[in-house]
Amino acid sequence: MSESLPLTPRRTDTGLLSTIRGQPPHIPDHELLRCIGSGSYGEVWLARNVMGTYRAVKVIYRQTFSDERPYEREFNGIKKFEPVSRTHDDLIDILQVGRNDQDDCFYYVMELSDDAVSAEKIDPATYEPKTLEREMLSRGRLPFEECLRLGLSLAAGLGHLHKHGLIHRDIKPSNIIFVNGIPKIADIGLVADVESSTSLVGTEGFIPPEGPGTVQADIYSLGKVLYEISTGHDRQVFPALPTQLEEISEQEDFLELNEVIIRACESDPHKRYNSADELRADLLLLQAGKSVKRLRLLERRLALLSRIGLVAAIVLLVAAAAYYQVNRDRRLARQNLADSHVAYGTRLIDEGDLSGALPSFAQALRLEQSDVERAKRHRVHLGVVLRQCPKLIRVWFQDGRVNAAGFSPNGRRVVIAGINGSAAVWDVEGNLQVFRLTGHNPEKGVESACFSRDGRFLLTAGEDRTVRVWNAENGEEITAVSPLLHPDTVYCASFSPLGDRIVTACEDGKVRVWTMGAPDPPREFVAHSEAVRHASFSPDGRWIVTASVDGTAKIWRADTCVQAGVPMRHQNWVFQACFSPDSASVVTASYDKTARVWDAATGKLITTLHPDAPVHSAQFSPDGRYIVTTCWDYDFSTRVWEASTGKEAVPPLKHTSYPTSASFGPAGNRILTTCANGVSHLWDLAGNKWVASPTPVFYSPDGNAFATFEGDLLRVWNATTDTAISPGIRPEYPVHDVKLNRDGSRLLIITTRTQPAGKTAFFGQVWTTSSAQALSPLFPADASITSSVLSATAHRMITAAGTVVQIWDAIGGRVSFPLRHPKRVEQAVLSPDASRLVTIAGTNAYLWNAITGVQLQVWSHPSKVSHVEFSANGRQVVTASGSGGMTKRYAQVWDVVTGEKVGEPFWHNDGVLFAAFSPDGKRVVTASEDRSAVVWEIATGKMAGSPLIHKHQVLEAHFSPDGRWIVSLDAEDTVQVWDAATSTPITPRLKHPFPVWDVQFIANGSRIVAKSEKAGRWIDWQTTGNPQPALWRIWDLTPDPRPVDELMLLSQMLSGHKGDQIGGGLPLENEALQIAWRKLSAQYPSDFTVSQQETVAWHQREAEAAAEAGQWSAAVFHWSQLIQVKPDDQTFRDRCAAAQKRLGSERTRRTE
């Protein structure tokens, strides 16, 4: 039987001697600090790796086994568990497995458990692992909620293990550790295949009567663990209950949990749970407040009635009731499980991992596909996330590892190189292999491959100690200059910008510069003390940058090969170093888990990127704004960063194995990635389903109509169908602003006219939408007006300017009443029937008769009133008291007829900035400076659900037209849609590159629009001569209608993982990925293509963002790309010329 690890570390006098072999074995890249535990077959050591991270290393010795067979079986078990371990949060991660046949042992490196006393703070001299056994010894019986959480975690981890054909064989409290506070199943030395586990192992009391080695035996052991932690008793006295059971405050909860334990520990394995997932489902019922005892009683009664054959009608009646109850509880369990998947997916989205979240939402949909309303929510999740993810447009497969890849200068071809001396050129658009490059030793790998800048040549380098030059048109080796022979492995070879020179990086620590076609030997120099992994020219050809495993990158003069400046140092190997497009910066990729940006002239550090994993490659985008990195992480992600800030710029690109290289295409929107499993991906950042409108868009208050202005034609459209609902209006003078009434049936057009003195005069005119007929004459409008509101019939208009609000007869074109205030008016709103008006100024809200201009009420507040709104029926008003200054503030509902308060205030911990009614008028949503939005029941004054927590102050929150969703806007210009009933996010946080002042549901709630201007403000839209950036964005909330199985497949392909468990899943195998790619790309080709319109929109956004940031070189790059696509577009040419002028001025300042 297996011994448990002792709670007190076992040490010899030296502290470094093995208790089994004396001297411990050598573990690569790890320093063994001391033995912290031992068992029948080996020892566990506290170790420190080369990065300074503490790990646990278990060493298994051959001499502890009676013969070879069980030793090999244990080794095979670890090999099979190693890839599974890192795919679930509740299993200990195996980070490395190795074998030392010279010392007759094998070992595996694991993440280290928390310290029993100091938690995550590790002191090697005093470290003791935190296990569940130690927790029980120090605390005794654990509380019910803690037992429930532990049970759910352990059952999830055990179920994940079983689904992959493995069993643990020794589940017990001492084998459950805590890592960062998370319980994990550990001591996996006895893990084995379900089919091959026949040996008698385990720990007495945790082994079932039939013996160990089956799924049901593991469930039995887990049941005994739950028994010990919930009762405080030893497992040997099971099923004895605590003697003072009646004194336990959680007696009912305990008895419910005991019902689960009894079934898990049944002596007859056929009466036990069939799976760990089944056990977990019952625990989820308890978590949801349901009764497992009642469920079991109903099941037993149903079985009894069926056996004794009572009157059929009674049996059927009782059976139906029992069946209903059982299925209801199981449905709730499925719902809880689906909610857990959604919660995990939402967490990934908040972390920026959109693709990684897809399997969670797909699993939730699979669980609840029969529930129409909940399934719609999951389909919206999937639709919104899929529309934001970078688009996958090509996947290529080859046998074995791929080491490198690169684009041709025009982006139409790619070269992909890997093991077995292989390299191939592919046509991107045709998705056809053009030719293979054959010449390298087929038993050696090709380490690098690239095109020359003019596209005429290809260059490859490899382990066979050669660099080869190829004709890029036909793939034939140019034997006049090739091969270039080296004394050792060549890791990298690169062309100079003119293509007349080649620089190579070699294992021998030397860099060699070759002249194309010259008979002379290369110029070589010792660049580093160890192997050189990378060497490349700067874009201007003046410099060479090198990277080495000696932990440095260096810059050299290309003409003299003399080092320039100081080395750029890392704490570990440096694998790649590349110049920025302007040659001013260098990015380096290191095993020390960082990529760093350096000033090429001074060697000073500018920015550090922290992928939290050893970085294998790093490269600038062609505009210099971004950096793409690949890492050796278990997440299998390629990441894109902002070069100036070090922040992640787009969601991670996910793969099914370690990414080995990543490079930008020549236009900057495409990224080519390669992986260790032979898969290469081509991604397009432009394919995010958002195309900005080139013209101003004006939405009606209900969001179901919008007006556009192109040239001199103004048209109104149905927002749901995008069909025109007006023949078009051609105003006589330049348009300054457009205002629609609530349903878009009327509109107010503000035009400008230049007066003789050179001043600009403003005029308004009301029109009908359907007939394009003027309803009013042109009437003068004050240029100082800051906001306006048009009534539902367009007969009244409200304008605000300073301290005065004016009520207009819009049809007559004249002011009916001026309403004066003691302070500046911030907002004025009309009731739906236009009979009442509310204005806010300072700390007061004023209610007016909109027909007579008589003031009816003054509602005072403790601070400045930030927002006011009528209910849909016009009978109530809600006001928000803002500017809390960390002081509690509230929103209040008022009765319009009586002027009295309706119910209690809706309090927040800081200022309330916004408040809005639900469509039925029964609820209010508030938005606060305390970073929350809250839904309230007006009748009770209580919260309806949980607060909607944000990362920043919440500026606005609105209900959808059907009242089921809420859209919120926070101070980080981020929009998010929530489920109003469950308080869970429907969408991820939708970020914007411009300041958002207003957000609105449109098209009957199927979309939202975020706008940069405040609603109702007069805006100077300059539609000609000086085009302005598009400062609005529309997000589609349409549910993805595709079959569940196809959405599951798509989510797995884009995430790279199966995602069948909460917290992880095994990577998708190559065969499964290939099947998924072929099926989905054939069935949904538009999902894997990017239109020219999308590409143009992306370049335009990037150009505008670059200009906004003062990155004029990048702005010129993108405007130039747009001119290539649309050479006749004068706007693009003008913007490019303006950017070039600013770039020239900037360069002049630098040289002065």
- Spatial distance between the Cα atoms of 694 and 1021, rounded to a whole number of angstroms: 12
Q: What pLDDT does residue 155 have? A: 92
Residues 6+ positions from 1028 with CB-CB distance below 8 Å? 1021, 1022
Checking if the pLDDT of 1017 tops 50, the result is no
Mean pLDDT, the chain, integer: 87
Judge if the upstream peptide bond of residue 483 is cis by omega within 30 degrees of 0.
yes
Q: Which tops the pLDDT comparison, 107 or 759?
A: 107
- Spatial distance between the Cα atoms of 1042 and 375, rounded to a whole number of angstroms: 12
For residue 342, give both structure tokens: 């959604």
Q: For residue 892, which of 855, 941, 831, 826 has the smallest C-alpha distance?
A: 941
Between strands 423-427 and 432-436, the pairing is antiparallel
Least confident of 98-107, 539-548, 948-957: 98-107
Checking if the pLDDT of 994 tops 90, the result is no
Beta strands in 354-431 (DSSP E): 391-397, 402-407, 413-418, 423-427
CATH of domain 861-1024: 2.130.10.10
Checking if the pLDDT of 189 tops 60, the result is no
Least confident of 80-89, 461-470, 806-815, 870-879: 80-89
Tokens 């007066």 identify what position? 755
Q: For residue 1096, which of 1125, 1139, 1128, 1127 has the smallest C-alpha distance?
A: 1125
User: 1129-1138 burial, b for 16+ CB within 10 Å, e for fewer?
Assistant: eebbbebbeb
Cross-strand partners of 870: 877
Least confident of 84-88, 322-326, 823-827, 1045-1049: 322-326
Q: For residue 870, which of 916, 806, 928 has the smallest C-alpha distance?
A: 916
- Is-contact 47 29, C-beta < 8 A? no
- Spatial distance between the Cα atoms of 1003 and 745, rounded to a whole number of angstroms: 15
For residue 297, give both structure tokens: 């009683």
Least confident of 12-21, 959-968, 978-987: 12-21
976, exposed or middle or buried, with CB in 10 Å at 0-12, 13-18, 19+? buried
Q: What pLDDT does residue 758 have? A: 74
Q: Indicate the residue type of 149.
A: R
Q: For residue 189, which of 27, 71, 26, 19 has the smallest C-alpha distance?
A: 71
Q: What is the DSSP string of 130-157?
A: -BHHHHHHHH-SPPHHHHHHHHHHHHHH
- Calculate mean pLDDT across residues 1030-1043: 86
Cross-strand partners of 406: 415
Q: Which tops the pLDDT comparison, 472 or 373?
A: 472
- Calculate mean pLDDT across residues 212-217: 87
Q: Which tops the pLDDT comparison, 1148 or 45?
A: 45
- Spatial distance between the Cα atoms of 983 and 87, rounded to a whole number of angstroms: 29
Q: What pLDDT does residue 1104 have? A: 86
Judge if the upstream peptide bond of residue 24 is cis by omega within 30 degrees of 0.
no
- Calculate mean pLDDT across residues 315-337: 63
Q: What pLDDT does residue 1032 have? A: 80
Q: For residue 587, which of 577, 599, 573, 572 has the smallest C-alpha distance?
A: 577
- Is-contact 605 590, C-beta < 8 A? no
- Spatial distance between the Cα atoms of 1037 and 990, rounded to a whole number of angstroms: 12
What phi, psi does 908 have (nearest 5°)? -125, 170
Checking if the pLDDT of 195 tops 70, the result is no
For residue 782, give both structure tokens: 């004050």
- Spatial distance between the Cα atoms of 848 and 337, rounded to a whole number of angstroms: 53
Q: Which tops the pLDDT comparison, 194 or 977?
A: 977
pLDDT tens per residue, range 366-402? 989 988 888 998 999 899 899 888 899 999 999 889 9
- Spatial distance between the Cα atoms of 1126 and 1137, rounded to a whole number of angstroms: 15
Number of Cβ within a 10 Å radius of residue 154? 25
Tokens 């084998």 identify what position? 175
- Is-contact 258 283, C-beta < 8 A? no
Maximum mean pLDDT: which of 44-53, 291-300, 302-311: 44-53
- Is-contact 775 789, C-beta < 8 A? no
Maximum mean pLDDT: which of 17-26, 729-738, 892-901, 1053-1062: 892-901
**Region of residue 1137 (left: phi > 0; alpha: psi -120 to 50; beta: else):** alpha
- Is-contact 589 574, C-beta < 8 A? yes
Number of Cβ within a 10 Å radius of residue 942? 11
Checking if the pLDDT of 450 tops 70, the result is yes
- Calculate mean pLDDT across residues 701-730: 88
Q: What pLDDT does residue 239 have? A: 86
**Region of residue 22 (left: phi > 0; alpha: psi -120 to 50; beta: else):** left
Assign 168 a pLDDT band (cuts: 50, 70, 90).
Answer: confident
pLDDT tens per residue, range 259-281? 899 999 998 888 899 889 889 88
Checking if the pLDDT of 1042 tops 50, the result is yes
Q: Which tops the pLDDT comparison, 293 or 900?
A: 900
Residues 6+ positions from 794 with CB-CB distance below 8 Å? 741, 745, 746, 747, 748, 766, 775, 810, 811
Between strands 490-495 and 501-506, the pairing is antiparallel
Q: What is the DSSP string of 564-582?
A: EEEEEE-SS-EEEEEE-TT
Number of Cβ within a 10 Å radius of residue 543? 21
Least confident of 8-17, 336-345, 575-584, 1139-1148: 8-17
DSSP, collapsed to helix, strand or coil, labels residue 1110 as: coil
- Three-state SS annotation for 592-639: CCCEEEEECCCCCEEEEECCCCCEEEEEECCCCCEEEEEECCCCCEEE
- Spatial distance between the Cα atoms of 954 and 916, rounded to a whole number of angstroms: 13
Assign 11 a pLDDT band (cuts: 50, 70, 90).
Answer: very low
- Is-contact 1070 679, C-beta < 8 A? yes
Least confident of 310-319, 599-608, 963-972: 310-319
- Calculate mean pLDDT across residues 641-662: 93
- Is-contact 110 179, C-beta < 8 A? no
Instruction: For residue 88, give the DSSP letter.
Output: -
995, exposed or middle or buried, with CB in 10 Å at 0-12, 13-18, 19+? exposed
Instruction: For residue 356, give the DSSP letter.
Output: H
Assign 103 a pLDDT band (cuts: 50, 70, 90).
Answer: confident
Show me where the domains of the chain are located. 30-287, 299-388, 861-1024, 1092-1151
CA dihedral 1071, 1073, 1074, 1076 (to 10 degrees): 120
Q: What pLDDT does residue 490 have? A: 97
Q: What pLDDT does residue 1014 have? A: 42
- Spatial distance between the Cα atoms of 161 and 564, rounded to a whole number of angstroms: 55
CATH 1.10.3720.10 fits 30-287, yes or no: no
Residues 6+ positions from 979 with CB-CB distance below 8 Å? 377, 964, 965, 985, 986
Q: Indicate the residue type of 873.
A: N
pLDDT tens per residue, range 577-634? 999 999 999 999 999 999 999 999 999 999 999 988 899 999 999 999 999 999 988 7
pLDDT tens per residue, range 1076-1115? 999 999 999 999 999 998 899 899 889 988 998 899 999 9
Checking if the pLDDT of 749 tops 60, the result is yes
Maximum mean pLDDT: which of 304-318, 1005-1019, 1037-1051: 1037-1051
Q: What pLDDT does residue 64 have? A: 83
Give percent of the chain above pLDDT 90.
54
For residue 583, give both structure tokens: 């040659």
Residues 6+ positions from 263 with CB-CB distance below 8 Å? 223, 271, 272, 273, 279, 282, 296
Assign 693 a pLDDT band (cuts: 50, 70, 90).
Answer: low
Least confident of 48-62, 479-493, 840-854, 892-906: 48-62
- Is-contact 843 863, C-beta < 8 A? yes
pLDDT tens per residue, range 396-441? 999 889 999 999 999 999 999 998 898 999 999 989 999 999 999 9
- Is-contact 474 432, C-beta < 8 A? no
pLDDT tens per residue, range 895-919? 999 999 999 999 999 999 999 999 9
Q: What pLDDT does residue 408 have? A: 97
CATH class of 299-388: mainly alpha
- Spatial distance between the Cα atoms of 316 and 295, rounded to a whole number of angstroms: 18
Least confident of 155-159, 632-636, 815-819: 632-636
Least confident of 640-644, 893-897, 1007-1011: 1007-1011
Q: Indicate the residue type of 917.
A: F
For residue 3, give both structure tokens: 């011994």
Residues 6+ positions from 409 with CB-CB distance below 8 Å? 451, 453, 454, 455, 666
- Spatial distance between the Cα atoms of 132 and 116, rounded to a whole number of angstroms: 10
Q: For residue 183, which of 232, 83, 113, 115 has the smallest C-alpha distance?
A: 113
Q: Indicate the residue type of 183.
A: P
Checking if the pLDDT of 515 tops 80, the result is yes
